[in-house]
Structure 1
């Protein structure tokens, strides 16, 4: 049985917040819909409440720390950042209390919020993979000398870390903009009756008679569009989608996409290689976390031994 993960779920308005435990992303959706009073049969997407990162990969969900706050979005809802509260008497309202309830007992001021992230980073370097954009930005904006002192780094190492984090933030922003453009494109296609324009002014529906019904139903229209129209589509698919492509095989993919055998075989090989790379990253993350914990135990044991000698 999978380990139960304590989580927090809220709706689009953030006015409903419930705590629950879930062993998987699917269970989180099901239990979250029940807790928030959403229709369990309607499509629901899961994002991180603090920065809107889409959570659709089971492995990524399992890597998130306990008590992570998720937001469940219905079909036409989109994530928006938390709104601040205006001055005057707004503090008297219940909504203003709910907005600020998570920050009342914050141990650091807003200007020094990066200390918490730095403390976690010093204990476990792998924790940087699970930090929110706000935490990463705080580390980037922190004074280099102060960050170096907090992490036990040299100034040059701290500066290199900040540069790497800034590049990671830039990539996230590019990915977010790409997702927004894709959503706009899909809405435009939906309004046009599902006819995806291609070169020559024709539509994807007119391009061919289509693959066998049993094979095409394995993939959603969005996945098929990514496979056909993107360079290196394997980098844009979830682990589950990659595994599906590998399981289907080159012959069936050639029929599904209307490609020749050589091109579809290259796609399947690329998906398999990408899946292996992601699994290696997960193993490396777990190994790094285990080593960090072992180092902490050894350091604590050395400290106890030193005290005994004194």
Structure 2
């Protein structure tokens, strides 16, 4: 008597590319079926290798047995040979254009607040001018139109003021240390 193999059922999966800019839905029966459909949906040339990983943590899926354990609607990432998995966090883009127009401060402030609302940990990476802009802001002026969460704006203003104060204290300490070292060097040359 032959052992019956469990009947495979097609399951839906969410796939994306390594930048998470392209997202598609695919229904697949097996890992092999998924890879062939990925090639078709993402226009990947047949001779081009790619890796399938879990979008959440980058675990590579390279065999049918592991693939069979995945739940329906699992998010998968397709990595080209030269790409690596990165966590799904917003990137910290601190580059910006300098504008001579003083009226543009409101736009700059609104953009800065928007970036920090997305990922508040970037506050510690800001420089003096950005921290000054945040610590001098009027939360009421932004709370009306741009960001209705006034509590967040108040806390952001207070935190940026603290970071600015700490940066200034650290800079003052470095300046004092530099002066001390210059004095020591001058005294040692005199002797």
The normalised TM-score by structure 1 is 0.28
The normalised TM-score by structure 2 is 0.44
Rg larger for: 2
Write 1 or 2 for the structure with the bigger share of strand.
2
Higher relative contact order (CA 8 A, sep 6+): 2
